[in-house]
Structure 1
């Protein structure tokens, strides 16, 4: 079909309008381009999409990479999932009838949190078993009375490490290493660190006993002294208290039996003297010690 343009703004015979041309193109199945009123095209669509690049499409999906290969991801097989492991049963560390240092520590720790009210002895008896049962029950653990690994770890987490005085709050602490001044002659070897008096002759131990000392306000003096006076039934004129089996070594300070020490233990203190609580032991010591025998008091 021939199309003639009009001249001078008047459409001539046989001329077809721009709108008619668009209708004809649509009917022929072609994509119509936008037509300006002056007959020119505007905004021609480029093949391949709106980004102007040949062959690209706005809706085209990117090619899958090697990591996105659907065959590379396999769903877990529920039948192959491992079953949770059963925890191993708690191992028993201590039980009734045991006797050692760890039992003593157990008792000292239970004593810290008011589950054990006796002095640590190192012997796992009925009272220790009951204390452990109470501790276990309070924390939802099986009340076996035996100290297993779980019970022990819970107790460790709740308490501090016991001191030597905690472990031997009732006495019986092993004597400290003798001071070198105690190794010759007849000596009352008194160690504050272990709270013990060891009667020694020429470096050999004859007997050992628990002792306690003065408070911070009336401390027991340290140093080397000698027994200058013995008084079997002595009574203090300063404090009006009995001082049986007194062996004086420095002023008014003496080694003597104390009924208060025997009754209350380390909850109290002396006025500077060295108190002994075992009356039989000090009676024997009093019979052996002579005036002039050495007294060594050290930390």
Structure 2
């Protein structure tokens, strides 16, 4: 384990005793002060972990045929592994099945059809662990954290992501960006033609702007003119806000600088679905903000 990870664990442990009692979803603001990633997330990449997306509209130009022919490089294996955020003490002690109540406890209990009392029990822990193992979430210690809850949202949405009818149905393609559940999909009429997939939207200071937008520029190999960082499969829909891939986990406790971040594979598939002029609809609020 790197020096940076150990330092983060120790810093998190010093804050653990100050944490407020856990509550049901959405998670309380400030959750990042007492939870840490339960496993190393790979090489330290601050420009990706903090996602310095375009704050201003990019300079629009027509990429050359040679530039368009180059596919962005693949992400390293394990880049998008779902790593749960857990109390640092559970990481240090290598807890097998936690006794701690997670911030999404009551919501996770309801989803698993457990008694929704908002208090962790041995049976709750085993049920949560079983779901985490089935979904490849690590560490699978039964902690009802944000990654486990996010995956439950995705699993529940797969059959009909627009069951609540929050994304307007139109005869043309609409890219739906659900900030509440941190999911995105594309529908044409009532037919879902892409997704739903997990995403990461804007943080408190730089929220992804809600309402109707239009895809106005696409660049497969875009590099941020402000930060010099890659934005693979970028599809801009409002000023500097775009759908694009990131080369690190989507599961961070802070959001992007406004863009809708996707895994490389999902961003590539979305690139092949959307076109310039397609509409985008954004609604809701990122949990914990």
Greater RCO, 1 or 2 (C-alpha within 8 Å, sep 6+): 2
TM-score under structure 2 normalisation?
0.46
TM-score by length of 1: 0.45
